Amino acid sequence: MIKTTRFICVCIISCAFFTAARAQTTAVIKTLPLAPAPPVLLSTQKLAIAGLAHDHVHNILGDYRDGKVIIVGIAEADKQLRARYQKQYNLPDSIMFDDLKKMVTAKKPDVVLGYNPVAKHIDIVEVCAPLGISVMVEKPLAATLAQANRMEFLALKYYIKLLTNYETTWYPSYQHVYDVAGQDSLGQIRKMVVHDGHQGPKEIGCSKDFTNWLTDPEMNGAGALNDFGCYGANLMTWLMNGQKPIAVTAVARHFKLQTYPKVDDDATILVEYPTATGIIEASWNWPFSIKDLEVFGDEGYMHALDKDTVITRLNNAPAIKSVAAPLATPNDHPIPYLQMVVKNRLKGITDRSSLKYNMIVMQILDAAKRSIAEGKRIVL
């Protein structure tokens, strides 16, 4: 009897110990952190970067750091600039080059992204086009119309894709305005007004490497006129479905002579179409950063206040403020969009990134500069 009792006690103690141990183990398992999900690639393309002097390069390098893109090479002649970015983003020596031709020859990228001065965009195309490598540059396409003409010739000759990246291309609000206008809900478009700019590149803290060429008339092609005027010209070309304007009149101002002695810091461009008028207001003198778009039609009005928010007023009804639906891939980010274009999955593109539309943008900017220089309306 005693032995049986001892046996039962031992069993009870053992079971209690096992249950406690199991509960403790379960508790430990429950508190273990979950392994982070691997990053989702935005593109399987082998990307390369030409130049590091444009502050927008932080966007693509941030994607690289987060494991979202594949960068096989970076070409930058400035040793100090190259070293600074290499340290900031922990870039391996194996992808760093001081020369674009050497980099693309060694790494054979699918696409080269340009983050160099606008006047140097043509140099990227001169190297990449004969090798069959497509190119996407930051806006605008070129510093001058002559450079753009040469770039277009090379792109067509060697059958490469040559695209221009604008921040506003990926704004849901702008796409919503375009879609509603395309459904004739606004009636015939009569007037477009685009405001773009900020307090000034130096005032908002752009890097010295960026502002050095951005405020140089040769490297940027102008000041605020090129830097922000290109947005409006691009959006109007898109809204007018690639129609070329009939005339351009422009005024440039120079309010900050001490800060920006070589280039304009404020520009207003009037763009005439047969059935509509566009007003582009580009400035480094806004009291705050602004990117917005207004479209007036015979029957309605829409105002994209920012990248998401839209005010709509149709048929004289009260205004409605709404948030635009998010864009679907690949139209929500330049890199997946670029992959679709390069792989010919978006054939015959005529949109804000396309070469066709950006050649019209360059014609508008060129006419604006001539209007300012000659003090008259320029007929195209």
Pairing state of beta strands 309-314 and 320-323?
A: antiparallel
Tell me which H or E stretch contains 364. Answer: helix 355-374
Can you tell me the distance from the alpha carbon of 171 to that of 291, in angstroms, rounded to the nearest whole number? Answer: 10
Quickly name the fold that domain 46-167 has: Rossmann fold (3.40.50)
- Is a pLDDT exceeding 60 seen at residue 347? no
Task: Find out whether 83 and 90 touch, Cβ atoms under 8 Å.
Answer: no
How do residues 262-274 score in pLDDT, each as one tens digit? 999 999 999 999 9
Tokens of 40: 């989702």
Q: What is the pLDDT of residue 39?
A: 76
For range 196-213, the mean pLDDT: 98
> How far are the Cα atoms of 25, 26, 37, 369 from residue 32, in angstroms, in the given order?
11, 10, 15, 63
**pLDDT confidence of 20, banded at 50, 70, 90?**
very low
Q: What percent of the chain has pLDDT over 90?
A: 87
- Is a pLDDT exceeding 90 seen at residue 335? yes
**pLDDT confidence of 23, banded at 50, 70, 90?**
very low
Can you tell me the distance from the alpha carbon of 120 to that of 126, in angstroms, rounded to the nearest whole number? Answer: 10
CB contact set of 245 (below 8 Å; sequence gap of 6+)? 236, 271, 272, 273, 278, 364, 380
Q: What is the pLDDT of residue 150?
A: 98
Cα distance between the two ends of the chain:
113
Tokens of 172: 């849901």
- Is a pLDDT exceeding 90 seen at residue 26? no
- The residues with which 379 forms a beta bridge, in sequence order, are 247
Q: What is the pLDDT of residue 2?
A: 41
Can you tell me the distance from the alpha carbon of 66 to that of 76, in angstroms, rounded to the nearest whole number? Answer: 22
CB contact set of 46 (below 8 Å; sequence gap of 6+)? 70, 72, 107, 108, 109, 110, 111
CB contact set of 253 (below 8 Å; sequence gap of 6+)? 264, 265, 266, 267, 285
**pLDDT confidence of 40, banded at 50, 70, 90?**
confident
- Is a pLDDT exceeding 80 seen at residue 138? yes
| Alpha helices in 92-202, H assignment, sequence order | 100-107, 121-128, 145-158, 172-182
How do residues 231-262 score in pLDDT, each as one tens digit? 999 999 999 999 999 999 999 999 999 999 99
**pLDDT confidence of 87, banded at 50, 70, 90?**
very high
- Is a pLDDT exceeding 60 seen at residue 25? no
How do residues 158-189 score in pLDDT, each as one tens digit? 999 999 999 999 999 999 999 999 998 999 99
Pairing state of beta strands 378-379 and 70-75?
A: unpaired
In the three-class reduction of DSSP (H, G, I as helix; E, B as strand; rest coil), residue 302 is classed as strand
Q: What is the pLDDT of residue 344?
A: 81
How do residues 146-157 score in pLDDT, each as one tens digit? 999 999 999 999
Q: What is the pLDDT of residue 10?
A: 38
Can you tell me the distance from the alpha carbon of 214 to that of 128, in angstroms, rounded to the nearest whole number? Answer: 24
In the three-class reduction of DSSP (H, G, I as helix; E, B as strand; rest coil), residue 259 is classed as coil
List the domain boundaries for the chain.
Answer: 46-167, 168-327+349-379
Can you tell me the distance from the alpha carbon of 146 to that of 19, in angstroms, rounded to the nearest whole number? Answer: 81
Can you tell me the distance from the alpha carbon of 327 to that of 172, in angstroms, rounded to the nearest whole number? Answer: 6
Round the average pLDDT of the chain to a whole number and report it: 91
Tokens of 78: 């400035």
Closest CA to 346 of 358, 356, 338: 338
Tokens of 52: 């590091």
- Is a pLDDT exceeding 60 seen at residue 1? no
Tell me which H or E stretch contains 220. Answer: helix 217-220
CB contact set of 332 (below 8 Å; sequence gap of 6+)? 170, 172, 326
CB contact set of 361 (below 8 Å; sequence gap of 6+)? 140, 141, 164, 230, 233, 234, 237
- Is a pLDDT exceeding 50 seen at residue 7? no
Can you tell me the distance from the alpha carbon of 121 to that of 256, in angstroms, rounded to the nearest whole number? Answer: 28
3.20.20.140, 3.30.360.10, 2.60.120.620, 3.30.350.10: which CATH number matches 168-327+349-379?
A: 3.30.360.10
Pick 165 or 25 by higher pLDDT.
Answer: 165
Can you tell me the distance from the alpha carbon of 296 to that of 302, in angstroms, rounded to the nearest whole number? Answer: 7
Q: What percent of the chain has pLDDT over 70?
A: 89
How many C-beta neighbours within 10 Å does residue 289 have? 11
Task: Confirm whether 46-167 and 168-327+349-379 share one CATH topology.
Answer: no
Can you tell me the distance from the alpha carbon of 289 to that of 222, in angstroms, rounded to the nearest whole number? Answer: 20
Can you tell me the distance from the alpha carbon of 322 to that of 325, in angstroms, rounded to the nearest whole number? Answer: 9
Can you tell me the distance from the alpha carbon of 135 to that of 50, in angstroms, rounded to the nearest whole number? Answer: 10
3-state helix, strand, coil in the chain (%, to 5): 40, 20, 35
How do residues 88-102 score in pLDDT, each as one tens digit? 999 999 999 999 999
